[in-house]
Structure 1
Amino acid sequence: MRLLYSTYEAKARFSEVLRHVREGKTVTISYRGEPVAEIRPLSERATRLEKRLAELERRGALTPAPSHREPMKPGERVPGALERFLADRGE
């Protein structure tokens, strides 16, 4: 269920707006008759994000990260690298 409040009404009835949001409803705020913002429960946002990511994966637009990764290996030590780096910086 979506509810619509003007910015003036939302300001004057903010506690009421939050009560609707806590009940799981989405509240739309309008300015001069045009919708400009929505206030919705956070759990709905997380669910929508998960659904959107799943849809992008299904379409092939997003590739999920592999479940296993090789551990990073330290780079090869190069004798004198720090001295050359500092010399290049003029230190």
Structure 2
Amino acid sequence: MRLLYSTSEVKARFSEVLRHVREGKTVTISHRGDPVAEIRPLSERATRLEKRLADLERRGILTPRPKDPKPIEPGTPVPGALKRFLAARGE
């Protein structure tokens, strides 16, 4: 059963909508018959985010952070670099 409320129903029955969300259900809100928003429990969202990140890593789209990242080392200073940078910006 899909929980669908119009915007006017949500205003009139907000406590009921929150009760459904606390029970772990997702509530869809429609405006003139078109779905425009969802209200869902936060814990489900956090779990879904972890699953989405794991899926992106599995597909090779996202690279997992290394366990022991190497510190960033500063480069060799180049004389006059700051002066050229500021001149290029017109300062």
Q: What's the offset of the Cα at 1:67?
A: 1.0
Residue type at the aligned position of 1:35: P
Identity among equivalent pairs (%) = 81
* 1:54-75 CA distance string (max 9 Å, x none): 1111111111111111234466
Aligned partner of residue 67 in structure 1, secondary structure: coil
* 1:26-59 CA distance string (max 9 Å, x none): 0000000000000000011111111111111111
Instruction: Provide the TM-score with structure 2 as the length reference.
Output: 0.77
Q: Which residue of 1 aligns with 2:14?
A: 14
Task: Label 1:56 to 1:11 Cα distance change in 2 as closer, same or farther (>3 A).
Answer: same
Instruction: Provide the TM-score with structure 1 as the length reference.
Output: 0.77
- Output aligned runs, 1:17-28, within 5 Å: 17-28=17-28
Aligned partner of residue 65 in structure 1, secondary structure: coil
Aligned length: 91
For the residues of structure 1 that align with 2:36 and 2:21, how far apart are their CA atoms? 17
8 Å CA contact 1:30–1:36 kept in 2: the answer is yes
* Matching of residue 59 in structure 1 with residue 59 in structure 2: yes
For the residues of structure 2 that align with 1:58 and 1:75, how far apart are their CA atoms? 34
For the residues of structure 2 that align with 1:6 and 1:57, how far apart are their CA atoms? 38
- Output aligned runs, 1:30-41, within 5 Å: 30-41=30-41
Structure 1: gaps of 5 or more residues:
79-91
8 Å CA contact 1:26–1:38 kept in 2: the answer is yes
CA RMSD of aligned residues (A): 2.3
